[in-house]
Chains A and B, each alone.
Chain A
Amino acid sequence: MKKEEIGVALEAVTLTDCGSEPAGGYETVCSCDLMSDLLAIMNEAPCDSHATILLTGLTNPQVIRTCEMVDIRLIVFLRGRQPTNEMVELAGECGITIMCSPHTMFKGSGILHSLQMKDVHYK
């Protein structure tokens, strides 16, 4: 899915747009609030992390840094959580697009699953 399509599906507002996205769109989703879990999952994931998006309710700068480490380029903050200006600026520096959706993690994950996006496949 293209990021515009993801934004529409999740009723999300784009807070900063890095501009780039995978040629074939985003393919996989990681829904996670624990950053060490995210690192563990992405360390084992067989997929291309550039085509992975993060759904999370955790709003602090370390979410941006963690995504930078594993090359996730699109973050959707859930439950209407607003990232700080510091986070928006850091995301821009790291080339990460961030959106904000009103949905819960369950609903957001369900919406993307129903639109054929896949799990990251943690081994």
Chain B
Amino acid sequence: MGGEKIHMDFPVKGGNFSEAGEAASKIKSVLKQIGVQYEIIRRVAIASYEAEMNIVAHAEGGQISVDIAPEEISVTASDKGPGIPDIEQAMIEGFSTASAKIREMGFGAGMGLPNIKRAVDWMNIESTAGESTTLQFKISLKKPVSQ
């Protein structure tokens, strides 16, 4: 891609499982169009999808914002919802507060945040219990891709 920066915003409706994943799908599509390396696209897609599913599964609603610059891709997933009382605990694989409905869909195994952390180069979560959560992550476009 050239030196331009791209910004995109995607609203996400809480509890709307029929549309869940559409934002991540559109992000992936744009990255393919602008010629981002395949491995980078896969990592962004996985992390964005997990972030989107977290909003759908746990929050009242939110937004996923993406900034694509020549050196990195930045994603911010923000929501209004119950928040995360203990972020450290939420990062433990297997820890989940998902409902039975979420588990029936194949999610809620407590892998979402750990999956995001594994896929990205930098990640930060801020949350206010009972109010909101903001998850940010970045993937570098400058680091060599693993063979």
Chain A residues packing against B (C-beta within 8 Å): 33-37, 39-40, 42-44, 49, 58, 60-63, 65-66, 68-71, 86, 94
Contacts and interface: CB of A to CB of B under 8 A. Distances in A.
Nearest to A60: B105
Looking at chain A's contact residues, the main secondary structure is: helix
Given A58-B106, A69-B49, A71-B42, A39 B21 contact: no
B106 A63 contact: yes
B17 A40 contact: no
Contact of A37 (B42, B104, B105, B111): B111
Contact of B46 (A37, A62, A69): A69
Looking at chain B's contact residues, the main secondary structure is: helix
Interface of B: 17-18, 20-21, 24-25, 28, 42-43, 45-46, 49-50, 53, 104-112, 114-115, 118-119
B106 A60 contact: yes
B50 A68 contact: no
A61 B18 contact: yes
Contacts of A61: 17-18
Contacts of B42: 42-43, 49, 69-71
Contact of B20 (A43, A65, A94): A65
Given A43-B115, A44-B118, A66-B49, A33 B106 contact: yes
A44 to B, nearest CB: 7
Given A60-B106, A66-B49, A36 B111 contact: yes
Contact of B111 (A40, A62, A65): A40
A36 B47 CA distance: 11
Contacts of A65: 20-21, 24-25, 49
Most buried by A among B28, B105, B108: B105
Given A49-B42, A60-B106, A69 B115 contact: no
Nearest to B43: A43
A1 to B, nearest CB: 23
Contact of A40 (B21, B45, B115): B115
Contact of A39 (B20, B110, B111): B111
